[in-house]
Structure 1
Amino acid sequence: MIKNNISRGAIALLVLSAALVGCTRIDGSAAPHTQLAADQIFSGGPIVTMDTAQASAEAVAVRDGKIIAVGSAAKINQLKSAQTEMVDLAGNTLVPGFIDGHSHFSMATTSASWANLSGAPVGKVSNIAEVIAELQAQAKRNGHVAGDWIVGFGYDADTLADGRHINRDDLDAVFPDNPVIVVHVSFHGAVLNSRAFEAIGYDATTPTPEGGVIVRREGSNEPLGLVMETAWFPAARALPLPQGEVRFENIKLAQEFYASNGVTTIQDGLTNLDSFELYKEAAERGDLYLDLVALGGSEDLDAFAADKEQYADYHKRLKLAGIKLIVDGSPQGKTAYFTEPYLTGSPSGEADWRGEPVAPAEEVESLIGAVYEKGMRAFVHANADAAVDILLDAHKKHLDKAGDDPRTVIIHSQFIRQDQLEDYARFGMVPAFFSNHAFFWGDVHLNNLGPERANFLSPMKSAADLGIHFTNHNDYIVTPMDQLLTVWSAVNRVSRSGQVIGAQERISTEQALRAITLDGAWQYKEEQRKGSISVGKLADLVVLDANPLTVDPMTIKDIQVLATYKEGLKVYPQ
């Protein structure tokens, strides 16, 4: 009898083992795993998997940083051991970790000492006097003395009651002894004072560079303050950067900031060689605990190509995903390149203004060919339709070099045409949309572009109808890192004034979540290991205080991130 009982127990164990070792998971679908016990089991609240084969579940089991089972609580609990951590969601909602479609991680590591000059709801500036006051307050906090650079970010003249740009005279009156850079919210330009102009060598004899804008004093060639696009590059290079060990501390703090917003895969949307060397050193030190995707600057293509093999996939959490190219500017700065003119002229008052390409079409074509030839992916900044035409023409010319699955990413793709969307679908391109514009600048775009163009902003519904994989992003530091705000803007498309910007392009909450999870993974060619709560994928998970799929869509932006897990490790709060 004893022998028979042992045999039955052994048989039961073998049956359970077979259910977990390369055959089926306990809810009946494929689950290759050789261990019985889970390190963690998440249950006790809604679980939104983003897996079309199993949209929801009661529980999730994790082992060695990967998901080993998804299904009913009763079945998942069979994987519990004395060592298993039971994570009670307490009615809160579990979703996949958010994948950053486009932001500037480097800005999170450098901007801590800058003044926040944003209008509501990001900041509290509403007029030029408050811009000055914020700069003064930040200078005092930083302990600035004469000669120190003073920097502010988030400046947006469209939110100021004065109805004009701040200029060098406004800044000189308060900061006669310090160079001041007031960075435009688009991060495609800035307003400088006289000391800053002196520092970068700008005066009345400075020609406006191709692809740039220098606003001049009326009746004079003297720069008045605002510089945009290529004209602002010297000022951008002059921005003060952290030095020494502080750089690594800032990388840790920046990761904490991203994790607090539920982001488990980060993008640095334009990485220069110095920054990449810093990231490599941080990776070797073990300082990276979130996945960091870098986009190398096209001016250093050869140097980045030399690093391609080591960083084509993550090496100690650092990945070189491709090369960043910039074709045009920003629509809110009126430097995006359109086929039809702006209705309100240029930043300096020129009529019949369509914007300009940052680089000539021939240069873009050459760069695209060079990137493809080196076996790398192109991530191309193109906001408006004339810029997208340049990119598409270049892509078509170099199709033979692009490879079988290039997934060229068009960052922003904000004001494009239906025929261009159809080309995206034809060539398997990935538009990284920017729906936050509907809220922050929807009213501005209606004024500058008219309703037909403004309402086709980030046309996600049209893209979805064509079967296009698209992502959505916040372009931090341009808009807040808040991922739920990004979802909210895609679902509602409501402007600051309450207007709906293109009702026909609103998408469902599920589609909006997919754009920052599963299709976020698709953008980086990581859909087999990230983006959904599915067996075999990384346990990158986020706990929210409400279910985005069931709340009133207008309240999605109010949902809070309670916890973030990277491969099963709780990284927020720490």
Structure 2
Amino acid sequence: MRRPTAFAALLLALTAPVAAQETTLYRGGPIVTMDGDTPQTVEAVVTEGDRIAFVGSEKEARKVAGDNAAVRDLKGATMLPGFIDAHSHFTVATQMAGGLDLRAAPTPPADIPALQAAIRAHIAARAMPPGQWAIVWQYDQEALAEKRHITRAELDAVAADRPILVLHVSLHGAVANSAALAAAGIDEATPVPPGGIMPRDAAGRLNGVLLEKAMFLMLAKMPQPTAEQKLAALDAAQDAYFAEGYTHAQDGATLPPDIAFLSSDAARQRLRIDLALLPFSTGLDALLAQPDLSFGTYTDHVKLQGIKFVLDGSVQARTGFFTRDYARGSPEGTHPWHGQPVLSEADFVAQAKKAHDRGWQLFVHANGDAAIDMAIRGFDALGIKAADDRRPVVIHSQFQRRDQLPAYARIGVGPAYFSNHAWYWADVHRTNFPAEVVDFISPLRSARAAGLTPSNHSDFSVTPLDTRFMLWTSMARVSPTGVVSGADERLGAYEALQALTTGPAWQAFEEDRKGRIKPGLLADFVILDKNPLTTPVEQIRNIRVVATIKEAKMVWQAPLR
């Protein structure tokens, strides 16, 4: 008879049947509370109902819990507060089913012929009839040997009898074949929308690439899943977050149909994860027309958090807005090029004022330093100061300049950084910008030194939801070629954990509800097989999630191996 492994024994201990008691005692492993500026580890935690009742010694915990409490033995595993998603796109997780996920392929396409072959194989494997859209996710031209976008003509060569849409990994662009362009009513006479890019080939014909606001012309015509299909995908989407230890997720640019769906009775009955929605600013006026609309308050597990504005694009797609030029020029190959705003500064200030006047939180996408300057000037125009405690969040804040940090502190900005860029695209960024610029991307340590409360995020589906990988990238800041981007900005393990717990809790005005293991807060926990505080940096990304607990209920556990 095989003896159970330590991992299997832990799972069995955590999932052993318990009676209907509402009191549970957790003990038997390090419990990192995240309560305070330095690490605090306790022996035991007691939960009553959906809240934490006691944190401290096991001896005292047993007195509080009483003889009838259920006991969960961690068997040496480490318990932390549930991770909080500072920025991702939850609805994408409900929409990717049925599409071709290039990142999930055993061998991602290395060049354009391989990409064409992968799309052909996808269409054939699913026996897709003519006319059915083929949607491709996680496409990155920088990962191809040609270092350029696939073209409309090359997609037509794959299949001309159906629309094909290849979505850029940044979610800031796409490439369409002729059938998809026709389905969206886009042709050579279509005006390029302000803030959009629609490159043409040498003959003056659209080459199929649609960037930034030009992509919106296509998204409006894409086939959308039905409410029934979305409901069917909702559990899988939640499980994807739970499997990474998240107990709180964000949908970082929610469109009106998704607001209606996710706030519907049917969806709310299925949601177990806390979900914060950021309605996209394009639908702002319709929201303002609802005088009783509430932001910041949960209905079951879903709430409207704030309004999302997008000031620029994606740096790896060369659409981020900078004060300096890209060495490689524009996506069309023209020089000089430093990007452009997606939204004019005047429009941003006017729209942000409407939301701000209603008391709604502002979430602003800004990657390049010129876009960050726009955000700062906009907040100043609205008179926002740290003492007001309005907590505007600048999402990504990727290529922030050091001189912009005091402005963030003065205004009270919460920077939502994106350390995964150091792995996925720092080598690409170095082909466009000097080393000293790239070395300051996602300056988590400098932000902390400036008195800010930063968070770290995956921007899923731009990068995977993997929380331990995020911890590692914020601590190592290394690229696949071994280049470290800003050694001085590396975080220690506790600081890295704060960017996934207390930091995003503060940014969401939920620091008194979640993000720490403290009496009175929600019983939201993640259990890891190793303690990040004592794990060498190079092994951090190999830590496994054992279980995720939401409001004292086990919502996910690792499969037995």
- One fold, TM greater than 0.5? yes
Residue matched to 1:302? 285
For residues 192 and 371 of structure 1, the distance between their equivalents in structure 2, rounded to whole angstroms, comes to: 35
Residue matched to 2:221? 238
Residue matched to 1:16? none
Q: Aligned AA for 1:237? A: A
For residues 334 and 412 of structure 2, the distance between their equivalents in structure 1, rounded to whole angstroms, comes to: 38
CA deviation map 1:507-546 (0-9, x unaligned): 1111111011011100100001110111111110001111
1:102 matched to 2:90? The reply is no
Q: Helix, strand or coil: the match of 2:217?
A: helix
1:73 matched to 2:58? The reply is yes
1:406 matched to 2:390? The reply is yes
Judged with a 3 Å threshold, the aligned counterparts in structure 2 of structure 1 residues 205 and 330 are, in CA distance, closer, same or farther, namely: same
Q: Which runs of 5+ in 2 are unaligned?
A: 1-20
Q: Helix, strand or coil: the match of 2:146?
A: coil
Q: How does 1:24-173 map to 2 (within 5 A)?
A: 39-52=23-36, 55-118=40-103, 124-173=108-157
Cα shift at 1:197: 1.2
Match of 1:192 among 155, 176, 192: 176
Residue matched to 1:357? 341
Q: Aligned AA for 1:88? A: D
Match of 1:394 among 378, 395, 415: 378
Match of 1:480 among 461, 464, 468: 464
For residues 371 and 198 of structure 1, the distance between their equivalents in structure 2, rounded to whole angstroms, comes to: 36
Q: How does 1:297-376 map to 2 (within 5 A)?
A: 297-305=280-288, 306=290, 309-376=293-360
Residue matched to 2:5? none
Q: Deviating runs (4+, > 6 A) in structure 1?
A: 400-403
Q: Aligned AA for 1:353? A: W
For residues 403 and 141 of structure 1, the distance between their equivalents in structure 2, rounded to whole angstroms, comes to: 58
Match of 2:204 among 211, 218, 221: 221
Q: Is the 8 A contact 1:119 1:159 kept in 2?
A: no
Q: Aligned AA for 1:164? A: R
Cα shift at 1:569: 0.5
Which is further off, 85-94 or 196-205? 196-205
TM-score under structure 1 length normalisation: 0.90
TM-score under structure 2 length normalisation: 0.92
Which is further off, 299-308 or 264-273? 299-308
Q: Is the 8 A contact 2:295 2:360 kept in 1?
A: no
Q: Helix, strand or coil: the match of 1:109?
A: helix
Q: Is the 8 A contact 2:268 2:300 kept in 1?
A: no
Identity within the alignment, %: 40
CA deviation map 1:316-340 (0-9, x unaligned): 1111011000100000000000011
Q: Aligned AA for 2:49? A: D
Q: Helix, strand or coil: the match of 1:247?
A: helix
CA deviation map 1:53-92 (0-9, x unaligned): 8711111111111111111122212234454221111111
Judged with a 3 Å threshold, the aligned counterparts in structure 2 of structure 1 residues 513 and 402 are, in CA distance, closer, same or farther, namely: closer
Which is further off, 326-335 or 42-51? 42-51
CA deviation map 1:431-472 (0-9, x unaligned): 100110000001001111121211110111110111100111
Q: Is the 8 A contact 1:323 1:378 kept in 2?
A: yes
Q: Which structure: larger Rg?
A: 1
Q: Helix, strand or coil: the match of 2:533?
A: coil
For residues 334 and 39 of structure 1, the distance between their equivalents in structure 2, rounded to whole angstroms, comes to: 54
Q: Is the 8 A contact 1:155 1:185 kept in 2?
A: yes
Q: Is the 8 A contact 1:369 1:401 kept in 2?
A: no
Residue matched to 2:235? 252
For residues 266 and 438 of structure 2, the distance between their equivalents in structure 1, rounded to whole angstroms, comes to: 42
Residue matched to 1:4? none
Judged with a 3 Å threshold, the aligned counterparts in structure 2 of structure 1 residues 466 and 115 are, in CA distance, closer, same or farther, namely: same
CA deviation map 1:156-202 (0-9, x unaligned): 11111233321112211121101001101111001111111111122
Q: Helix, strand or coil: the match of 2:189?
A: coil
Q: Helix, strand or coil: the match of 1:554?
A: helix
Q: Is the 8 A contact 2:385 2:410 kept in 1?
A: no
Q: Which runs of 5+ in 1 are unaligned?
A: 1-36
Q: Is the 8 A contact 2:268 2:302 kept in 1?
A: no
